[in-house]
A and B are shown apart, each in its own frame.
Chain A
Amino acid sequence: MTDQAIAPNPDLVTVTIDGIDVAVPKGTLVIRAAEEAGIAIPRFCDHPLLDPAGACRQCVVEIPDAGNGRGFPMPQASCTTVAAQGMQVKTAATSEKARAAQEGILELLLINHPLDCPICDKGGECPLQNQAVANGRLQGRYEGVKRKFPTPLRLSPQLLLDRERCVFCQRCTRFAEQIAGDDLISLTERGAKSQVGFYGNAPFTSYFAGNVVQICPVGALTSEAYRFSARPFDLVSTVTTCDGCAAGCQLRADHRHGQVKRRQAGDLPAVNEEWSCDRGRFGFVSGRGDDRVTTPLVRKDGELVPASWPEALEAAAAGLAKAGSQTGVLTGGRLTREAAAAYAAFARQTLGTEDIDCRARALSAEETAVVPTAPAVLNASPVTYADLEQAKHVVLVGFEPEDEAPIVFLRLRKAVRKNKLQVTALAPYRSLGSKKLSATVVPTAPGQEAAALAGLDLDADTIVLGGERLAASPGALAALAGVAAKGARWAWLPRRPGEIGAIQAGAFPVAGRDTLAQLAALQSGELQALVIAGVELADLPDPAAAAAALDQALFVVSLETRLSDAAHRADVVFPVALLEETAGTFVNWEGRALPVAQVLSRTRSPMTDIRVLQALAEALGRPGTVPTDSPTRAAAPRTVSVETAPTPAPTPQGALVLATHRELLDDSRLLDGEPALIASARPIVARLNPATAKAAGIEPGDRVTLSTEAGVPGVTFDALIDPTVADGVVWAPARARGFNLAAAGLAAGRPVAIAKEVAA
C-alpha cells in the first residue's frame, strides 16, 4: 500500500453540520445532508419527493459560512439551501440563533392551530405535535382570536379537509400538481385567509389522492375510510405488498381488533418510492361482507349447505377421484407465488393433469407462447422502475398505465418531468394519462398494435411496455417480443398481482389446456371436473359461456374467500384465507419478488389455499404431493417467431371497432365495501371522434348505445365527442356499475354498432 492521499471526488462537496463533516453529491440540499449525518432538523413543507417550497420556514439553520468565507446574517431554510464545499451549518443543536428561530416558527404555526389533538386522526403520529414537543416553547403566548373555518370541507367523496388544522405546507397541492398531475386543488385566498381549496369546480378525484392524507404533516386531510376509526398508537403495523395490481407497491397495513384499519404507502424507493394509488390504499375491505365463506359448503339436493371439513374433503375427494386427470385447474391471477405453486403441484402431482391456467381474462395461444419468454418471467435482465426513470423513450402499447399499473404511471411521469423522457402511446385515444405524460399518441385501433409497433423507430434507448390486452390483438405480443431484435427492451405487464409469479410457479398451461380451452372442454365433456379458485366469471371474455361450462361440468370444487358466481356453481366450496391472513410472495411486472406478510393471525382464520390443497391431496390418497414450500419452476417457453405470428383479422370495410379496457376504479369485487373509493371513479362515457359522431347523428350531450350489431340490445353511455379518438374506433370502459361489455358480447377489436339513444 502506498500512502497516496485519497483523491477528492469531484462530484461530492463536503459540508460541516454541527461540527460533523458530510460529503454529499453536488446539488444536495442542506436538509438532506443533515439527514446523511443523522442530524434531525424539524420540517413541514419539505418532502424529499416534492420540489422544494421553502414555505413553512421550520427548518431554518444558521450558516456562518456559505463556503465562500461569508455567512448569512439571518437563519436560512435548509430545505432550499444547496450544500456547498466548505459550508458551515449550525442547526438548533449548536446554534442559539437557529434554535430561537425554529421555536419562533413553531409558536407562529400554533397560534391559529385548533390544538384538537385528542380528537385528531394524526395525533400520535403528527409531525406538528412531535416537533412542537421537541422544538417548541413550553407554553404558548398567544391570547388572540383563532382563525375559524366551517369544517370539514369535502374535497372528494373520499377526502375531507379540516382547514383550521392546516399549516399551509403545500405538500398536498404540490403532490397534486407535481406527482399525480391532477392539479385539482390549490391554495386559495391569501395571507391569513389562505386555505387549500378547489382549483376550479371539480372535486379532487385523483387516482392518487389518498397520498395527500399520508403526507399531510398535520391532521388537516383525512379520508372518509379511516377518519375517526383508530388512534395511531393503538395500531399494529405490518409491512406487506399490495394486491391491487402488478405494480408491486410496498404497503403498511395497520390493524387493530383483528381488522385492518388502513393501508398506507410503504417506503420502497425501487418500486413505489413513497406513493400508492387509491385502489391499493383503500380497496381492502371486500372480504368483510356477508358473502365471506366461513365454513366448507357441500351441495346437497341442489343446495350448497354448510358441512364439516371432513365431510367436505370426503365429498371433494370423491368427485375429483372420479374425474381423475380429466380435471382442469383455474387459479385466477391473485394468488401468491407459493399458493400458485401449490395449485401447480396439486394439478400435476396429485391429479395428474396438465390443464392449469392462472389467467381469468381474454387470452390467446400467442400469449401462452410469448409470455413465458418475458424477461420478468425468466428473470433475465428485466426492465425495472429505475430503467423507466432513466429511459429516453418509452412506448406504451395496449397499456394505459394510469388505469392498469398506476405506480408505473407515476414513475413515467417523474421521468417525463425530471429526465425529459419521451413517451409514445399506441392507443385508441389520447387519455388523461397520456396528457399528463405529454405523450405522443399514435392513434391505434385495437388489433392494429402489431402494425403500429412495426411503424415505430425503435432503438436501444427505447423500452416498450405491453399490457395484457395485447392478448386479444393478433400478432401484437409477438411484435412486442420482437422489439428485442431492434435492440429495444420490453416488458409485459399483466394487471393481476399474481400472474407473473403463477407463470413462474407453473400455474400455466405448458402442455395442457388454457382457461378458455378448459371451459370449452368442460362444455363438451372432454373434461369432467374443475378446481377453481379466485376466478370471477364476469372477468372472462364470455361470462355466460363460462357459467354454462361450470353448470355443465360433472364436478366443481371451489376454493374461495367470498361466494362468487363460480362458487355458487360448485359442488364443494372450501373457505380460504384472505390475502391479509396469509404470507407469501408476489412477483411484480419487473420480476421482483416481494414479500406478502400475514397481517392478521386470528385463531379463527380459515385455512390457506395451500393447506386446503394439502388436505385434499391427503383425502385423495396422495399425501405429500403438495409440498408446503413448493419449489417454483418456470414454465418452459414455447418458441414463437414474429414471422409466423398470426396476422390481424381484417375488419369489415367501414365498420366501427370497439376499444375498451377496465379503468382503475370500476365494479371490481375487490373494491366492494368502499363506496367513497368507487365514487371517485371517472365519469362513465363512450368516446367517439367527431366524424363517427356526425355519421351516427350524435351530438354533445346525447347518449349512445353500443351493441354488437344494429338493433340488438347493448349498453348505453353518455357520449363524449373526442377528436383524439382514432378513426373508426369507439372506446368505452369495459365494466362499471351495472354493465359488463363482455356480457353484451362486446370485445376490444371486434365490430361495434352505435346508435343514438332515443328518449323513451
Chain B
Amino acid sequence: MSDKQVLVPVLTANWGQDQSWKLAQYERTGGYRALKTALKRTPEDVLTEVKDSQLRGRGGAGFPTGTKWSFVPKDLNPKYLVVNGDESEPGTCKDMPLLMASPHTLVEGVIISSYAIGVAKAFSYIRGEALHPIRRVRAAVEEAYQAGYLGKNILGSGYDLDIVVHAGAGAYICGEETALLNSLEGRRGQPRLRPPFPAVAGLYALPTVINNVESIATVPAIITRGKDWFLSLGTEKSKGVTIYSLSGHVKRPGQYEAPLSVTFRELFDLAGGIRDGHHLKFFTAGGSSTGILTEEAIDVTMDYESLLKVGSQLGTKAMQIFDETTSVVRTCLRWVEFYKHESCGKCTPCREGTWWLVQLLKRFEAGQAQEGDLEKLLSVADEINGVSFCPLAAGAVTCVTTAVKHFRSEFEAGYNTPAWELLPYERSTAWATPAVEGAAK
C-alpha cells in the first residue's frame, strides 16, 4: 500500500513479465510506441521535449541531458552518441538489471535520442564482465534491425541509424566518459584532457554525446508521457523518477524505482529495514565514492541537491547499507583496495596515493597502526584530494575521510586491536542469523 505511493515503476515496470527482454513482449506492453511518436515529430522538437523535461544524467554527475545534446553542432557530421554502460561502482546495480530485463528500453531510447541529436551511428559500451547483459542487448539490437527499428529508413521516416554494441575490457575507469572514448577507440583506458570536450571532439575526434544507460532509457517514457508528467515528479531541481539500488544488511535488497523526492527512510523501509536483531550503522547514498552517512541522515531526500547538503552525492543511487556488526575500517579498506586496483595509473596522486592508503589501512585493520598513523592517513588523503586528473581518486579519499569523521574511535582502536577482534567478521555476513551469532558467542 505504502509501496504503491512511494514506488513509481516506469523503467522497471516490465521487469517481472515473462520474457520481458524479447521484442514481442516489449511491444505488447507499449514498446516502440514512443519511437513512432518521436519519428512523427522533428528532431528539434524531440530534443526540446527532453530538454524541457529537465532530465538529468543518471550516471552520477547529474548534468541536464537535453542541454548536453544541444552542445553538439547541428550541421557537423558525422557525430556520435555513446551510451555509457560501464557500470562498475561498488554497490551500483541499476543498469545491468535494466539491460538484462528490458534491453529494448535502452535500444528504443538510443534510437529516439540519436534522432533528436542527429546522429547516424550510436555505440553502446557495456562493461565487459557483464556477459549476459551484453548478449541480451546484442539480441535486442538484432531484433530491432529485423523489425525495421534500426538500419536504413527507420519505419519509413527516412532516418538511418546503426548501433554498435561494444564490450569493455574490464576497467572501472572506463566509466569516466573520456576514458571510455579512449577504450572504445582501442586505446588505453585513461581519461583525456579537457578541453576539447567530447561535444566538440569526442569519439574519433568527432562531436560526441555520452549518456548513461538509465538516462537514455528514460527518454522513451518522457516522449510517451510528456515532459509535464516528468516535471510533476521529484523535487524542484531534480525531476522525474529513477532507480535506487539497495544492498547490504537490509531484508529485501534490490532495485526500487521512485521519484527523486523520496527519502532514504522511505526506501530503507521498503527494503524491510535492517535484518532482525540489528540496527543501521552507516550507509552510502550513491555508491562507495560518495562516502558514508549515518542514521543522522536517514531522512535525507534522495535528490541531487539534498545529498550535497549533507556532504554526500546522489551518484549512482547505490545504497550500501551496513549494520552495527560491520567494521568500518574493513569496509573502508575494501573500497580503497578497489580504487587502488582500478586506478588507471595516469596521475601521481591516484596511482601512488591509493597504494599508500591501502598499506596504512591494512595496519589499522590488523591492529598494528603506529602512533601518528591516523594523522598520516588523513594527511595522505589530503595530498590526493582535489589534485588528481579525474575524480576516481576523490572516491577513495571520500571513503577514508567520511569513515574517520563518523567512526574515529574505531580507527583509533586499530592502534591496538585488530578489526576482526573488535567486530568479528563472521557476524557481519548478510546470512548470519541471530542464532548463529548466539552460537558464536
Contact = CB atoms under 8 A, between A and B. Distances in A.
A52 B389 CA distance: 12
A170 B351 CA distance: 14
B354 A192 contact: yes
Interface string A716-735: 00000000000000000000
Contacts of A107: 383
B193 A108 contact: no
Given A55-B347, A75-B387, A108-B349, A144 B356 contact: yes
A109 interface: yes
A228 interface: no
Interface string B179-206: 0000000001110010000000000000
Given A57-B348, A193-B345, A112 B355 contact: yes
Grouping DSSP codes into helix (H, G, I), strand (E, B) and loop, the A interface class, with mixed when no group exceeds half, is loop
Contacts, number: 104
B334 interface: no
A54 B351 contact: no
B383 to A, nearest CB: 3
Contact of A60 (B189, B356, B379, B387): B387
A144 B340 CA distance: 15
B383 A192 contact: no
B355 A55 contact: no
Contacts of A170: 346
Given A53-B193, A80-B193, A142-B356, A192 B387 contact: no
A194 B351 contact: yes
B406 interface: no
A333 B214 CA distance: 71
Grouping DSSP codes into helix (H, G, I), strand (E, B) and loop, the B interface class, with mixed when no group exceeds half, is helix
Nearest to B190: A187
Contacts of B97: none
Interface in B328-360: 340-349, 351-356, 359-360
Nearest to A102: B387
Given A53-B193, A60-B387, A190 B343 contact: yes
Contacts of B356: 108, 111, 142, 144
B324 interface: no
Contact of B351 (A80, A104, A168, A186): A168
B348 A167 contact: yes
A112 B352 contact: yes
Nearest to A51: B193
Contacts of B376: 141
A71 to B, nearest CB: 13
B344 A190 contact: yes
**Interface size range of chain A in the complex:** 35 or more
B305 interface: no
B267 interface: no
A80 B389 CA distance: 10
A167 B352 CA distance: 10
Contact of B352 (A52, A55, A108, A193): A108
A282 B254 CA distance: 65
A73 interface: yes
Interface residues of B, number: 35
B310 to A, nearest CB: 19
A400 B193 CA distance: 35
A107 B354 CA distance: 13
Contacts of A187: 188, 190, 345
A112 B356 CA distance: 10
A194 B348 contact: no
A190 B384 CA distance: 18
A643 interface: no
Contact of B355 (A54, A104, A111, A141): A111
Interface string B6-33: 0000000000000000000000000000
Interface string A49-73: 0001111111010000000000001
A105 B171 CA distance: 25
Contact of A104 (B173, B188, B193, B383): B383
Interface in B355-411: 355-356, 359-360, 376, 379-380, 382-389
B389 A54 contact: yes
Contact of B193 (A52, A74, A144): A52
A190 B359 CA distance: 18
B362 to A, nearest CB: 9
Interface in A169-203: 170, 186-187, 189-194
Nearest to A146: B355
A192 B355 contact: yes
A748 interface: no
A77 B390 CA distance: 12
A57 B385 CA distance: 12
A108 B386 contact: no
Given A111-B355, A190-B343, A57 B388 contact: yes
Most A-side CB within 10 Å, residue of B171, B173, B193, B376: B193
A570 interface: no
A656 interface: no
Contacts of B386: 73-75, 101
Contacts of A168: 345-346, 348, 351
B364 to A, nearest CB: 13
B340 A191 contact: yes
Nearest to B189: A190
A192 B340 contact: yes
A145 interface: yes
Contacts of A194: 344-346, 351
Contacts of A74: 385-387
Nearest to A142: B356
B351 A192 contact: yes
Contacts of B353: 108
A52 B388 CA distance: 15
B210 to A, nearest CB: 20
Contacts of B188: 186-187
Given A104-B387, A108-B353, A54 B348 contact: no
Contacts of B384: 104, 108
Contact of A105 (B189, B355, B387): B387
Interface string B155-177: 00000000000000001010000
Contacts of A192: 340, 343, 345, 351-352, 354-355
Contacts of B355: 111-112, 144, 147, 191-192
Contacts of B344: 190-191, 194
Nearest to A101: B387
A191 B354 contact: yes
Contact of A190 (B345, B347, B379, B387): B345
A105 B383 contact: yes
A141 B347 CA distance: 20
A632 B190 CA distance: 57
A135 to B, nearest CB: 13
B88 to A, nearest CB: 14
A73 B387 CA distance: 11
A186 B346 CA distance: 12
Interface string A79-104: 01000000000000000000001001
Given A55-B389, A73-B386, A74-B386, A108 B348 contact: yes
B375 to A, nearest CB: 10
Nearest to B353: A108
B183 to A, nearest CB: 12
A55 B385 CA distance: 15
A111 B354 CA distance: 12
Contacts of A105: 348-349, 383, 387
In the A-B complex, the 6 residue pairs with the closest CB atoms: A104-B383, A194-B345, A74-B386, A191-B343, A144-B359, A108-B352
Given A105-B387, A144-B360, A186-B188, 17 more contacts: A55-B389, A105-B348, A108-B348, A108-B349, A108-B353, A108-B384, A111-B355, A111-B356, A141-B379, A144-B356, A147-B355, A168-B351, A187-B190, A189-B345, A190-B344, A191-B342, A192-B340
6 contacts: A57-B348, A57-B349, A108-B349, A190-B189, A190-B345, A194-B344
Interface of B: 171, 173, 188-190, 193, 340-349, 351-356, 359-360, 376, 379-380, 382-389
